[in-house]
């Protein structure tokens, strides 16, 4: 008896070829995607942290430090914005322009090399007159500032060995009451060799990565660093809008897929035939389903953010216009995606398997499952092809950066264009329901 | 072109009135699915007020023809017009009411909500819609169940609501596709009454069924379709007469016989199987001569039945299949 039940179930699954294949492809496919995602993270090391470097010192020492930062493989250090058609030769970052760039989300942190660094760069003792570096950071990325601070200590040591040795010898000399002339000559010879080594290092291309196995942990404190929040410092819960958007969009995708699946149910029951034999065209029917899915998604997002405001103190009520615009655009795009999924598949089984694979993949790559600051640049680039990424980006602009509605232009354009394109595709695939 | 005879047919002549388009005109419709031809050049015209039964064994092309009339199947060639309007046009959709074989309803919605939805899909609104819903609930005897979710209704009630949902816009041409499938005799009788009410109101009805008694009761004209062709069409009496003439069958069961039963039957133009003989007669009075001959040949007659051919016989004769097979 049990054997018959198993056999019947197997035959039913096997007859639904799409669902049958997806039953096996889904786990393998998802595993493969995660393997690539996390495998690439391991082989490429820690994701590079973008940092804007402002050189206020303008000495040989500060320039050597900048070059060292640019060579550091765990950092993506830049001193000026990328050239554009409008501005083919952009000026170096100033403290103000770097701060604006961090606020705009161009980079999670900016490092300001203070004036006077070259004259008194490092100290092996606490206190002293050494100038303080400042890291201006966006606290929505809690990792970036710490990475920059740590890497700064390392780079100071590895790119300025002569300066470190010179300062060390001065320190040593002051402690032991001065060096003999012979000791001084030997010290100068050694420093000369270190300077030659620095010049050789400077001659190497900046993009050449070096080993990342060095540890700077035991050198922390050689330079003084002050970390300052320039975005979200006064916010009570830095990541809540990120997760509200990320989790919200992921479940919205599942909801839209299920709502779109009502087309398959109605096709099975014959209700679709009856509706289409009345004065309802396929386009009208799909548009009606799209409207319903969009309203459902809007309701879910509103509930999600109201909950975030109530429980996690998200500042929802001072961001209503931006929130509404992002919510409508996101819901519209997600609903269109649900229509497409339903129209591409032929059975509920296929829809469930197909949508699970796509939605979980999109959510993983788009930032719904893992914070974007933990992702490599390659992952971030791939993630730009997901709704999740654009929705998170838009909501972050609204709630975290307090940006104007105009700043949401790219997100609105991408989401609305996607919605229209996906709906047109869904309409094209829905021809299968129109006529036999 | 096969035209259904109708007393209301208008003839051309010196006193001819402008002829209204027939409710349904099917002209040389062909539909193929791959190498299989489901409908092979069907032509027919159904006049106003006709009650037209479409019978056919499974796979004969009946469903494809019906779905073509509804606009859910696009023929490869030929044309279908409803009151002169091309199938699929807004005017044709307004004139046609389709009751599909499936229970094409929203199971979680109430009877009223279902009717409301399908009424709006047909372009009704406001008081017109409310009046239509009231008529449907009354016609389907579901007024006291208007707020009941469909999934909790009995099979017969669902069938009646299924019919009402297809006819809420009061179309003039009604296509009922096996509306009594899976219902108990009491509910079936109620459905018959509903169909008869529509017929009495002057609607033109196309009715498909696997139950011969339904076709005999509800349809004045019957067409039999097989292998994509309409192989016979007319009233029940005309079909029987055309197929079997005026003859009847006499079935005699006999006791153990010493005579060669097959030879005895063959000599009278009949057949014999085991202990029964089937002979064709033109008049019932010929039975007396048969009985006399049997007595002379010492055949013991156990019982005699005079069988008049019916629609079932016609169907079996023409298609070689039982209607409900």
Of residues A67 and B312, more confidently modeled: A67
Of residues B33 and A120, more confidently modeled: B33
Residues in B touching A270 (Cβ below 8 Å): 100-104
Predicted confidence band at A208 (pLDDT cuts at 50, 70, 90)? very low
Chain centroid offset of residue B198 CA: 15
Residues in B touching A275 (Cβ below 8 Å): 118, 121
Over the range B51-76, which residues count as b (16 or more CB within 10 Å of their CB) and which as e?
Answer: bbbbbbbeebbbbbbbbbbbbbbebe
pLDDT of residue A314: 84
CA dihedral A182, A183, A188, A190 (to 10 degrees): 120
Residues in B touching A271 (Cβ below 8 Å): 104-106
Of residues A243 and A2, more confidently modeled: A243
Number of H helices and number of E strands within chain A? 17, 5
Beta strands in A104-158 (DSSP E): 109-113, 132-138
CA of A280 to nearest chain B CA: how many angstroms apart?
6
pLDDT of residue A194: 67
Give the residue-averaged pLDDT of A183-208: 67
CA of B127 to nearest chain A CA: how many angstroms apart?
19
> Residue B110 gets which letter from DSSP?
B
pLDDT of residue A57: 86
Question: Is A44 in contact with A376 (CB distance < 8 Å)?
Answer: yes
Q: Report the C-alpha gap between A165 and A56 in whole angstroms.
A: 24
pLDDT of residue B139: 92
Supply the mean pLDDT for chain A: 80
Predicted confidence band at A68 (pLDDT cuts at 50, 70, 90)? confident
Give the residue-averaged pLDDT of A258-277: 88
Is the confidence at residue A166, as pLDDT, over 80?
A: no
Residues in B touching A267 (Cβ below 8 Å): none
Question: What string of DSSP letters covers B222-281?
Answer: EEEEETTEEEEEE-HHHHHHHHHTT-EEEEEEE-S-SS-HHHHHHTTT-EEETTEEEEEE
A 200-259 → B contacts, CB under 8 A: none
Q: Report the C-alpha gap between A109 and A227 in whole angstroms.
A: 10
A431 inside 8 A of chain B by CB: no
Whole-prediction pTM: 0.72
Local confidence pLDDT in tens for the 325 residues of chain B: 556 554 333 333 344 444 589 999 999 999 999 899 999 999 999 999 999 999 988 888 898 999 999 999 999 999 999 999 999 899 999 999 999 989 999 988 999 999 999 999 999 999 999 999 999 999 999 999 999 999 999 999 999 999 999 999 999 999 999 998 888 888 889 899 999 999 999 999 999 988 888 898 999 999 999 989 998 899 888 888 888 888 888 889 988 877 788 888 898 888 888 888 888 888 888 888 888 988 888 888 899 988 888 888 788 778 776 665 4
Is the confidence at residue A199, as pLDDT, over 50?
A: yes
Cβ contact B105–A435 (<8 Å):
no
Cβ contact B72–A280 (<8 Å):
no
Cβ contact B67–A280 (<8 Å):
no
What are the tokens at B206?
A: 């196309």
């Amino acid at each position: 008896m049990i054997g018959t039940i198993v056999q019947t179930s197997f035959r039913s699954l096997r007859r639904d070829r799409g669902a049958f294949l997806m039953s096996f492809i889904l786990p393998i496919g998802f595993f493969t995607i995660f393997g690539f995602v996390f495998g690439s993270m391991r082989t490429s090391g820690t994701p590079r942290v973008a940092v804007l470097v402002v050189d206020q010192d303008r000495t040989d020492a500060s320039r050597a430090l900048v070059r060292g930062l640019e060579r550091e493989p765990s950092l993506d250090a830049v001193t000026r914005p990328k050239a554009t058609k409008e501005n083919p030769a952009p000026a170096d970052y100033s403290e103000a322009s770097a701060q604006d760039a961090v606020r705009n989300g161009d980079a999670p942190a900016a490092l300001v090399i203070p004036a006077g660094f070259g004259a008194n760069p490092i100290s092996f003792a606490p206190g002293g007159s050494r100038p303080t570096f400042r890291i201006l950071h966006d606290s929505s990325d809690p990792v970036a500032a710490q990475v920059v601070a740590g890497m700064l200590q390392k780079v100071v040591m590895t790119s300025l060995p002569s300066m470190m040795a010179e300062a060390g010898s001065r320190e040593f000399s002051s402690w032991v009451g001065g060096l003999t002339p012979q000791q001084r000559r030997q010290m100068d010879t050694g420093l000369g060799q270190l300077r030659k080594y620095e010049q050789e290092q400077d001659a190497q291309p900046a993009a050449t990565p070096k080993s990342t196995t060095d540890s700077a942990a035991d050198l922390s404190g050689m330079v003084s660093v002050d970390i300052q929040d320039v975005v979200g410092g006064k916010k009570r819960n830095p990541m809540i809008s990120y997760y509200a958007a990320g989790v919200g969009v992921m479940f919205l995708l599942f909801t839209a897929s299920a709502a779109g699946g009502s087309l398959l149910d109605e096709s099975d029951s014959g209700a679709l035939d009856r509706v289409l034999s009345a004065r309802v065209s396929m386009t009208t029917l799909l548009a009606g389903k799209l409207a319903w899915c969009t309203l459902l998604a809007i309701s879910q997002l509103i509930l999600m953010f109201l909950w975030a405001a109530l429980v996690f103190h998200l500042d929802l009520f001072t961001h209503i216009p931006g929130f509404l615009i992002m919510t409508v655009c996101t819901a519209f795009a997600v609903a269109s995606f649900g229509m497409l999924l339903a129209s591409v598949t032929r059975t509920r089984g296929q829809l469930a398997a197909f949508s699970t694979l796509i939605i979980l993949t999109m959510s993983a790559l788009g930032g719904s499952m893992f914070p974007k600051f933990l992702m490599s640049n390659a992952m971030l680039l791939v993630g730009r092809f997901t709704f999740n990424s654009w929705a998170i980006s838009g909501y972050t602009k609204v709630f975290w950066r307090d940006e104007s509605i105009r700043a949401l232009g790219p997100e609105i354009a991408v989401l609305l264009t996607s919605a229209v394109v996906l709906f047109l595709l869904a309409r094209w695939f829905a021809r299968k329901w129109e006529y036999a | 072109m096969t035209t259904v005879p109708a007393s209301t047919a208008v003839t051309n002549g010196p006193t001819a009135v402008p002829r209204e388009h027939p409710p349904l005109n099917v002209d040389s419709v062909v539909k193929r699915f791959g190498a299989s031809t489901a409908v092979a050049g069907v032509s027919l015209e159904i006049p106003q007020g006709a009650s037209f039964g479409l019978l056919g064994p499974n796979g004969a092309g009946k469903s494809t023809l019906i779905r073509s009339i509804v606009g859910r199947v696009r023929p490869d060639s030929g044309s279908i017009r409803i009151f002169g309007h091309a199938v699929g046009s807004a005017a044709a959709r307004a004139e046609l009411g389709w009751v599909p074989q499936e229970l094409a309803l929203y199971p979680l919605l109430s009877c009223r909500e279902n009717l409301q939805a399908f009424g709006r899909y047909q372009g009704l609104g406001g008081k017109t819609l409310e009046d239509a819903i009231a008529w449907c609930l009354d016609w389907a005897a579901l007024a006291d169940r208007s707020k009941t979710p469909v999934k909790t209704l009995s099979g017969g009630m669902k069938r009646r609501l299924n019919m009402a949902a297809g006819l809420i816009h009061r179309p003039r041409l009604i296509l009922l596709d096996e509306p009594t499938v899976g219902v108990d005799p009491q509910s079936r009788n109620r459905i018959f009454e509903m169909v008869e009410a529509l017929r009495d109101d002057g609607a033109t009805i196309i009715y498909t069924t696997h139950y011969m008694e339904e076709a005999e009761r509800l349809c004045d004209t019957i067409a039999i379709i097989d292998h994509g062709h309409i192989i016979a069409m007319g009233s029940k009496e005309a079909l029987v007469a055309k197929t079997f003439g005026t003859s009847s069958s006499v079935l005699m069961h006999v006791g153990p016989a010493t005579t060669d039963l097959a030879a005895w039957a063959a000599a009278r133009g009949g057949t014999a199987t085991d202990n029964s003989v089937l002979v064709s007669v033109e008049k019932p009075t010929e039975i007396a001569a048969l009985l006399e001959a049997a007595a002379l040949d010492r055949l013991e007659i156990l019982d005699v039945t005079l069988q008049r051919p019916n629609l079932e016989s016609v169907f079996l004769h023409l298609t070689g299949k039982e209607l409900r097979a």
